[in-house]
Homo-oligomer: A and B are copies of this chain.
């Protein structure tokens, strides 16, 4: 036991991570984290994944949680390193992903000296964290690490940020601590079930709006039985942290991004029942458009909250309705032939529908290009689909890294706009380094295409050359094949649907990461 007794704070924390099954550390370390790096080296049980920018690190932790259903840790360098990771922590927070952030800090005696890297780390952490704490003693680091893990493991997942002053890492450590098991998800009452059953049995159009764990296959199947019994429509939110879909699954029709289209879709409902979902809200507010997307005479009811036992609530409702023997409507496999001709949204959707491998993980940040994907890809082979949840672009490539590490035997498809890809393109290097089975598809329209529409949506006028130039990425053109190759990832450029089909088919059969640039714009 001598080795354990002599361990420093950093080692006590790493051993506490291992003890509590936190098995991956996504990291971009600096000087103040060197003892922690050293401890990661010494203690077996934590896989360390280096990102060359912190947005890669935090986005990977989000993707990891969504597939592994448990938190990874990150290791970040002081306030600015955490700052670089904030955008994807924001996305993770909105996805309800649990993450244990470990952020280095100056030694406690050094903070007051106002050295160059000194900043208010707790202040940086707070907007994107549910729980923030700065360790004050090396003896307590393992205890506080266990608290952070407990927080991250809550239902729904939480962002827990433990700030680790260098001297609490190098000073003598305390004992390894077993984190308390997270509380069981609370169950809903029979009264709620009765009330919702009554709502769903009332006349007129009504919908179930599913979110969170309601979108796993087994829960969707229950929703399908409820729909079969009551005639309600099943919806998912515009974006979803993880939805299990494709052939053999019950379809939840997603609410569109466009306010007008969403209002149109929801306008007839008299009741919307939330199942782990939030009241449908517009992505942005616009002049003279409502923020909420349902009609004024629609009642919003909740069956079960995001953090409660969603599956059990659906089971209770199914039983109450006497629907347990009913067959839900399941999507059928229907893989299109290889399409031909120039790129359009439907054609791209067909290629994906034909080729998504069984049990693939699709990480989708295709923004404008992906508007038709939901309708088509439901007849692909069964897969998991992960959306950008916080609206901060630069999510899909890092999340694909994390998903691939959580599920090494599954194929990950990252569907990515070029504008978004540029935010965290360093992810490609990590994919190459870790030989991850990720197929990156860049929809290169050379533009913040969504913003061209938004310029009109918000009623902005007078937009000429200068405004459009701020929304254009075509001067100069980005060479995505080159950006990939320069980071060790093989790249291919495709110019029509047929080339796309055959290239995607080929890369899916290969090991490791590849990138396909879907050249939607530029003449080569």
Question: Which residues in A have some Cβ–Cβ distance to B below 8 Å?
Answer: 27, 29-32, 34-35, 37-42, 48, 50, 52-53, 55, 78-81, 83-84, 86-87, 90-91, 94, 106-107, 109-110, 113-117, 119-121, 123-124, 126-128, 166-167, 170, 239, 278, 281-287, 291-292, 389-392, 394, 419, 422-423, 425-426, 429, 432-433, 450-451, 454-455, 457-467, 469-471, 473, 475-483, 485-488
Q: Jot down 23 A-B pairs with beta carbons below 8 A, ordered by A.
A: A29-B470, A31-B283, A37-B463, A38-B455, A40-B470, A41-B463, A48-B469, A52-B422, A52-B423, A55-B84, A80-B91, A86-B86, A90-B119, A94-B116, A110-B282, A113-B292, A115-B281, A117-B390, A124-B124, A429-B476, A429-B478, A433-B475, A483-B486
Q: How many angstroms between the C-alpha atoms of A471 and B425 in the bound complex? A: 19
- If A483-B486, A486-B479 touch, whether A87 touches B84 (CB-CB below 8 Å) is yes
- If A48-B470, A470-B50 touch, whether A115 touches B422 (CB-CB below 8 Å) is no
Copies in the complex: 2
Q: How far is the CB of A320 from chain B (nearest CB, A)?
A: 31
Q: How many angstroms between the C-alpha atoms of A422 and B50 in the bound complex? A: 13
Question: Would you call B87 and A419 a contact (CB within 8 A)?
Answer: no
Q: How far is the CB of A514 from chain B (nearest CB, A)?
A: 14
Q: How far is the CB of A517 from chain B (nearest CB, A)?
A: 11
Give chain B residues whose Cβ lies under 8 Å from the Cβ of A48: 466, 469-470
Q: How many angstroms between the C-alpha atoms of A466 and B392 in the bound complex? A: 32
Give 3 nearest A-B pairs by CB, closest first: A476-B488, A110-B285, A83-B86
Give chain B residues whose Cβ lies under 8 Å from the Cβ of A465: 41
Question: Would you call A27 and B470 a contact (CB within 8 A)?
Answer: yes
Q: How many angstroms between the C-alpha atoms of A310 and B506 in the bound complex? A: 67
Question: Would you call B50 and A469 a contact (CB within 8 A)?
Answer: yes
Question: Would you call A432 and B90 a contact (CB within 8 A)?
Answer: no
Q: How many angstroms between the C-alpha atoms of A78 and B80 in the bound complex? A: 18
Q: How many angstroms between the C-alpha atoms of A126 and B83 in the bound complex? A: 12
Q: How far is the CB of A145 from chain B (nearest CB, A)?
A: 18
Chain B CB within 10 Å — which of A115, A117, A391, A460 has the most? A460
Question: Would you call A80 and B390 a contact (CB within 8 A)?
Answer: yes
Give chain B residues whose Cβ lies under 8 Å from the Cβ of A463: 37-38, 41
Specify the chain B residue showing the minimal Cβ separation from A32. Answer: B284
Question: Would you call B81 and A29 a contact (CB within 8 A)?
Answer: no
